[in-house]
Amino acid sequence: MAEEDKSAEPRTTATKQPAVKKTTAKSAAAKTASATSQTPSKRTAAAKKSTASTARKRTTKAKAAAPQTVGEAPAPVIERTSPEQFGRVNVLDITPNVENGLFPARVELGEAFNVTAQVFIEGRTKAGATVSVRNARGREVERFAMTCTNPGLDRWEAMVKIGEHSDLKPWDADYAAVKRQLGKWQIVIEGWEDTYQSWLHDAAIKVKVNDDVENALESGAQLLARWADAKDSKLSAADKKVLRDAAKTMENKSLSAEERLAAVQSSDIEQLHETNPLRDGLSESNPQRFRVERPKSSFASWYQFFPRSEGAYYGEDGKIVPGNLKTSIAGLERAAAEGFNIVYLPPIFPIGVTNRKGRNNSLVAGPNDPGSPFGIGSELGGHDTVDPQLGTMDDFKAFCERAHELGLEIALDFALQCSPDHPWVKAHPNWFRTKPDGTIAFAENPPKKYQDIYPIDFNADMEGIEKEVERIMDLWVKAGVTIFRVDNPHTKPVRFWQDVIAAVTKKHPEVLFLAEAFTRPGMMRALSYVGFTQSHCYFPWRNTKEELEEYLEETNGNGGFYQHNTFWPTTPDILTAYVRDNGIAGHAVRAVLAAMGSPSWGIYNGYELIENKQRPGFEEQIDNEKYEVKVRDWDSTEKYGIAELLTSLNKIRDTHPACRSYHNLHILPSDDAGVIAFLRQTPAELTGTGKADTMIVIVNLDGHNAHQSIVHIELGDFGFATDKPLKVHDELTGRDFEWGYDNYVSLAPWADVAHVLTVVED
């Protein structure tokens, strides 16, 4: 009797038993006799043949015993043993990615940001994609569904966040919980075969045209049962019941095909497919590294004042009596009242006497001229000393303590330069560049000259300078400083800052750095790579609609993963023609653009008093505060309304999560060259409130004339209903409007220069 061919056996179910071959005693005896009658050589050959035959039989039996699957087998997970290998599903072109493989993208804790990737599978099978957020140890902490935004290019996107937003300060009791979440994180894109969606697409067609309906519905029932048992889907008991009940309905042949299919077309299953899908053939990308930074690293509001002007007044002899660190408490309280959370001070160190500058940068100082605080160092001390005219180190510590009580961080200007009287000049003459005649060269940028400043030369002893700077920064951090604003860092070696920032943050990881670097893009990017958390930028000189739209997108685009542009309308060194020429309305316009156009913005005090007179021939203020003490009448701010506007803008920013990200701004089309419109949006799952947050900002850029414009918003692109009006609330005026696709806006500088609209959910 010939042995049966088990490989030809029809495939039915995995539980069917293979046929058993019957062997008679007679045939067995005959085989035994035949084997024993052979010669030794023949017996050896027969044994080898028998062994080979046995091996083939075992293989055949193993194959026959392997479980068989009805219908198509689910896509397997294919192990990747090297970074360049593909998984079962293909994942390419992830953004953001680690720059040059070295510098990870940077985000603030809880900051919403966009992740994109190409995810695809062969043929007409449907794919799905997920963003997996993992801690430094690779453990998944959160998972976000991705949406295919461009099927033709297989482009998938998702807004995600790492950790939860916090307003805790480094000195707060619960800050340790924030600190534990900072540092290295990973994001992995997970592609997968969307077996359910592929099946549903085909099944709906087959039921409609009555083609192989029974097999289609039976496959669906089995798929739902497998989905309910999938650990990866992280289903609750209630979720599993929904799927199993639908599977039972699908198997119920007493119902019509349409009724059976309807069981899986419910909103509950649709929601499960969105949040807890069945992910076959799960394929992970290479991990993308992220650096998560502390609160205020991205979302911050700065306020600058000079302590010597705070509390200054005219004495009986008509001379100015300067303020000091004690009278500067008034500045802290004003900043807090206006809603700012960082107070930034210029250098507070002793000021040199040699070549001291006078008013408006004149070369000769008068007897009462205090000099520029950037001419650092005298016989009284250098960068590690409080100017005695401002007070003592204890006064500064008390100043910081009061700031902390008000919820304010203190940022200290660190200008790495010296007056000719600085102690370093004698102690470390090799730190300064000399001329051929042996004299030290003062700073210059021909034709500009800074006779009161000696620039430091880093070529002779950079390591020694680094150690001294680290010592000094440590001293100020222990006194209460949590942020350093570094003056002109681009004029020093990038490697110098890389070493210093690494050393300071290793000891004090809470310390942030702001770069005052108006320079080339490459240098700006390099400074951000080495640890400058935020940067001054070219916002003051972006004034036309075209310039602003381009700069808003640049600031809030992929560059925002590295360089955090901080928008300042003015500084002690910058007063543009726009601010000079557009009066109160111009100040309001620039404040709205700065506060709503970037998560980080700043105001130099005096802005509330419309201090906008330029020094002839220069884009800076006349009677510059860098060279003199200012006496201000803070009681007169009410007649301008700017202080009230600043307070409102900070309140809006603090209230709305959409204002906290460098990655959620969209320009809206508007048909008037004098009107700019943009939208910020953070989805419901990232706001912490359970509701999406959308802000629409429209600004009239003309400080003298009214402008009207049609502002277009593609409602469906932002998840809004397309069949009913969009309700919006103006946060500045309290008025309510209804918006559609195209919206008429009229703004006049003598009434409203801007709308800051919140979308109101029904």
Strand partners, 193: 127, 280
Q: How far apart are CA 122 and CA 129, in angstroms?
A: 15
Helices 237-251 and 267-275: angle between axes, nearest 10 degrees: 130
Single out the residue of 140, 383, 378, 437 nearest to residue 282, CA to CA: 140
150 is in an annotated binding site: no
Which ranges of 514-671 does DSSP label H, i.e. alpha helix?
521-529, 545-555, 577-581, 583-597, 642-655
Q: What angle do CA 485, 491, 493 make, to 5 degrees?
A: 95
Are the CB atoms for 674 and 545 separated by under 8 Å? yes
* Pair of tokens at residue 328: 């500067």
Residue type, 743: N
* Pair of tokens at residue 449: 């000259």
626 is in an annotated binding site: yes
CA distance to 157, 181, 196, 229, per residue, from 128 (Å)? 11, 29, 10, 19
Which ranges of 656-706 does DSSP label H, i.e. alpha helix?
684-687
Q: How far apart are CA 354 and CA 420, in angstroms?
A: 6
384 is in an annotated binding site: no
3-state SS, one letter per residue, for 77-93: CCCCCCCCCCCCCEEEE
| Pairing state between β 534-535 and 512-516 | parallel
357 is in an annotated binding site: yes
* Pair of tokens at residue 598: 């970037």
Catalytic positions are 487, 516
Single out the residue of 397, 400, 423, 419 nearest to residue 410, CA to CA: 400
User: Which residue in this structure is represented by tokens 């309290």?
Assistant: 734
Q: Phi and psi dihedrals of 119, rounded to 5?
A: -135, 125
Are the CB atoms for 144 and 131 separated by under 8 Å? yes
Residue numbering of the annotated binding site for alpha-maltose 1-phosphate: 357, 417, 452, 488, 626-627
Question: Which residues does the annotation place in the binding site?
Answer: 357, 417, 452, 488, 626-627
